[in-house]
């Protein structure tokens, strides 16, 4: 009887050991398979997490092996030949000729955001490399920023906060905080693309009269949907608007679009809001217009350069509100941008239809 029990116990122990070995072997095979899959993923060059990219890079890692630009610089000769995609956020990684020439296997530059004025698209294309961007996903966040700047400037919200938290304040409601009515005022939007239309929607919510100027007129249905009226001449929009909002792409035609002549056409009670690009506005002319009270105020999410030199005259004017180009900076929008960048890059590498390819004009 005792020998039977011993045999049973011995047999159970062997089975247990066999199961453990089997499980270990299975885990090893799974890890080996996972490593093979990882090794087969294409390499993408990115900026450092936190330098534009959200910290969570999980979505990128599903499709790419990631090399940060800082690590790339340690040995470009070693790393350069394996890079097939660049995921560019802002101006990082740089797309200068020297960097691009060190990436002989590069197939795509996937830009985060709509603006591509920092990319030499014809040159990049000449290397056989596609360029993509992420229109649409940035529209709501940028339109929110435009309205936020407009409201903060009109109602002097920043000045009110500063007075409220200043320990030396004795008069908590000075006359200087008297603001401008937004509801029922006239907003003129220059540039009626995705973002411009979203801004118009928000203006409609404030019962604003919405005017717009664009290279091509939107359809009647699109105008009615956002309550916008087309101005064929930009001059007419400038003369009538209480708030002029710039939402154009930067191009040779829009560089310096707003200068002395245009500012002089605006009402002395008008505010200029810029969420497009800094170079759309002649900043020297803007400084003069603000100092001379040719216009009432300016609210800018973009400048040129960014950031402005600390002694730039715009920084010392009381009727200017400046934010550091954060129009798209929400967690939700940042994740959507990364998702679209990845989709574009994967499509290029797989030879599929590219959702958002940028082609030279």
Active-site residue set: 277, 306, 325
Three-class SS of the chain? CHHHHHHHHHHHHHHHHHHHHHHHHHHHHHHHHHHHHHHHCCEEEECCCCCCCCCCCHHHHCCCEEEEHHHHCCCHHHHHHHEEEEEEECCECCCCHHHHHCCCCCCEEEEECCCCCCCCHHHHHHCCCEEECCCCCCHHHHHHHHHHHHHHHHCCHHHHHHHHHCCCCCCCCCHHHCCCCCCCCEEEEECCCHHHHHHHHHHHHCCCEEEEECCCCCCHHHHHHHCEEECCCHHHHHHHCCEEEECCCCCCCCCCCECHHHHHHCCCCCEEEECCCHHHECHHHHHHHHHCCCCCEEEECCCCCCCCCCCCHHHHCCCEEECCCCCCCCHHHHHHHHHHHHHHHHHHHCCCCCCCECCCC
Three-class SS of 90-129? CCECCCCHHHHHCCCCCCEEEEECCCCCCCCHHHHHHCCC
> Which residue(s) pair with 46 in the sheet?
68, 87
Are the beta carbons of 212 and 192 closer than 8 angstroms? yes
Closest CA to 347 of 108, 37, 104, 123: 108
């Amino acid at each position: 009887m005792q020998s039977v029990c011993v045999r049973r116990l011995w047999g159970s122990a062997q089975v247990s050991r066999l199961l453990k070995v089997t499980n270990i072997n299975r885990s090893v095979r799974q890890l080996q398979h996972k490593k093979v899959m990882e090794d087969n993923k294409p390499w993408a060059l990115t900026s450092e997490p936190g330098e534009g990219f959200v910290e969570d890079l999980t979505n990128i890692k599903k499709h790419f092996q990631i090399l940060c630009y800082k690590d790339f610089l340690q040995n470009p000769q070693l790393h350069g030949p394996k890079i097939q995609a660049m995921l560019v956020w802002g101006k990082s990684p740089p797309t200068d000729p020297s960097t691009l020439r060190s990436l002989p296997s590069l197939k795509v530059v996937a830009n985060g955001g709509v603006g591509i004025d920092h990319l030499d698209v014809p040159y990049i294309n000449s290397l056989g490399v596609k360029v993509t961007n992420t229109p649409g996903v940035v529209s709501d966040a940028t339109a929110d920023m435009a309205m936020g700047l407009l409201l903060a400037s009109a109602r002097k919200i920043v000045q009110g906060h500063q007075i409220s938290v200043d320990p030396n304040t004795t008069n908590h409601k000075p006359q200087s905080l008297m603001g401008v009515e937004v509801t029922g005022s006239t907003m003129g939007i220059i540039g009626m693309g995705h973002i411009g239309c979203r801004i118009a929607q928000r203006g409609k919510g404030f019962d604003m009269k919405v005017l717009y100027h664009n290279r091509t007129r939107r359809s009647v249905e699109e105008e009615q949907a956002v309550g916008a009226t087309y101005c064929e001449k930009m001059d007419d929009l400038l003369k009538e608007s209480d708030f002029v909002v710039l939402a154009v792409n930067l191009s040779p035609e829009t560089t310096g679009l707003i200068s002395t002549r245009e500012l002089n056409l605006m009402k002395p009670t008008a505010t200029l809001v810029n969420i497009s690009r800094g170079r759309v506005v002649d900043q020297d002319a803007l400084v003069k217009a603000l100092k001379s009270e040719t216009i009432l105020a300016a609210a800018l999410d973009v400048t040129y350069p960014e950031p402005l030199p600390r002694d730039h005259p715009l920084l010392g004017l009381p009727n200017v509100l400046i934010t550091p180009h954060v129009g798209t900076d929400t967690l939700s929008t940042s994740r959507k941008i990364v998702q679209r960048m990845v989709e574009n890059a994967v499509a290029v590498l797989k030879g599929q239809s590219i959702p958002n390819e940028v082609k030279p004009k």
